[in-house]
Amino acid sequence: MRILVTGGSGFIGSRVVAELLTAGHEVRVLDRRLPDASGRARPPWTDVDFRHADVADGSAVASALSGVDLVCHQAAMVGRGQEILDAPAFAHSNDLGTGVLVAAMTRTGPERLVLASSVVLYGDCRYSCPEHGRVRPLRRAAADLDAGRFEPRCPSCALELVASAVEEDDLPDPPRNVYAVTKLAQELLVSAWARETGGVAVALRYHNVYGPAMPYDSPYSGVAAVFRTAVEQGVPARVYEDGLPRRDFVHVRDVAAANVAALSWEEPGFHPFNIASGEPRGIHELALALSRAGGGPAPTVTGEYRIGDVRHIFASPAKAARELGWRAAVDFRTGIEEFAAAPMRPPAG
């Protein structure tokens, strides 16, 4: 199969390219970032057709689609960034780029798309109250966070709620930051494309991806990169709240394998899948594991918070296991020990 990978020079995209090549596919990459972090124009792959262009460039996209059987759309600006100040850049990279891509696919094909989506669409986990059953909590108030009351509470009785995993049929949460807005818009654009054209669209909702060659600490890095950078610098990682917010950390090799598994899906329409380890961890647990594996100082639990953050977010990967035959293979301890020693890359410019 000939596959176009947008964003194939990035942290996740480059690993996807490697897995596709291993699986015997012919790969073409479209990316505005040169694939070699040293800045050399020559890509590191000798058997990849590399196109240096922005996914929002309609003519470049149309050319890159020629003869392609499937698009693996990894190109995106990720993370929280500088919040609303970065709105134009997020909208350009994530939404304009996706719009240009699906418009070009509608004109010339192909009819199959795998989208790199995100768990951020869900907002919070599912929550249940001991008295009132499943409820949707109010967003946490600054006064509660200032007082160290971090757990969401029942809007009816104020009891602390119990978190559980979300599934693909849970409704998206009203987005809490610019990144979440643009990822939701990506899914809506791709869903509209699949509905109007009869195309096949698989959305892989990545959880907190980590692993070798992850970018160093930057406004757009995930918490794993932030903590890993602290370990390398020999300073304590700063852990927000009480260190107990839970996330699901999934290794980049597993994410790449999920993209290969998604190639087998042929049913028309829009189909989302959670790509997660299925074993959520506290953020302090992650920071402590990295500091121990990397020989760094113990993390500091600061009590600080960001008002837009959710307390817990993790999801069930059961649908991906059942329908794609995909399961995470890298366990937390093995993955963290490798990550703590592996080289990282400069943040994307």
pLDDT digits (tens, 9 = 90+) for 232-268: 999 999 999 999 999 999 999 999 999 999 999 999 9
CA–CA distance from 171 to each of 119, 168, 208, 300 (Å)?
A: 12, 8, 20, 35
Q: In whole angstroms, what is the distance from residue 166 CA to residue 120 CA? A: 11
Q: Among residues 257, 224, 248, which one has the least CA distance to residue 79?
A: 224
pLDDT number for residue 78: 87
pLDDT number for residue 176: 82
pLDDT number for residue 175: 86
Instruction: Render pLDDT for 49-104 as a digit per residue (tens, 0 to 9).
Output: 999 999 999 999 999 999 999 999 999 998 876 678 989 999 999 999 999 999 99
What is the overall mean pLDDT for the chain?
93
Q: In whole angstroms, what is the distance from residue 12 CA to residue 138 CA? A: 34
CB atoms within 10 A of CB 315: 26
pTM above 0.75, yes or no: yes
Structure-block tokens of residue 88:
């134009």
User: What's the pLDDT band for 38 if we cut at 50, 70, 90?
Assistant: very low
pLDDT number for residue 172: 87
User: What's the pLDDT band for 183 if we cut at 50, 70, 90?
Assistant: very high
User: What's the pLDDT band for 348 if we cut at 50, 70, 90?
Assistant: low
